[in-house]
Amino acid sequence: MTDKIYQKKKKAYLWGQGAEWLAICFLTLKGYRILARRFKCKSGEIDLIAQKRNLICFIEVKARKTTHDALYALSHKQKRRISKAAEWYIAKNGHDDNIYRFDVMAVEPWRMPTHVMDAWQMEIAI
């Protein structure tokens, strides 16, 4: 890998890390408790899992130049992988009294994050 490509990938990785940190701060200020960051299992990965009362949110953080780009950067395939990972998380940690939701946190430079609640619906086999 050339040095230029490596630097570009490193910059993108660090921007993503910063976006996750900003999303965590924003969610915490809104009263959410972060349960997991970069949750991984065989089925996929979830950027953030947060809780507010009996609501569990599976949150995908997207850092892009514009909010529009961030919101439309999530493919159907990614949604399926996140949903499968959420199923696994619920099977291991779920409670019957919880409500589950999929959110997207769009982060763009020099702006407050945009929290899109209930960004998509998926059937979860509990």
What's the whole-model pTM score?
0.87
Q: Say what percent of the chain tops pLDDT 90.
A: 55
Q: Would you place residue 19 in the very low, low, confident or very high pLDDT band (cuts 50, 70, 90)?
A: confident
CATH class of residue range 3-120: alpha beta
Q: Would you place residue 123 in the very low, low, confident or very high pLDDT band (cuts 50, 70, 90)?
A: low
More reliable by pLDDT, 126 or 93: 93
Identify the pLDDT of residue 40: 94
Q: Give residue limits of the domains in the chain.
A: 3-120
Report the pLDDT averaged over residues 100-112. 91
Between CA 53 and CA 68 the distance in angstroms is 30
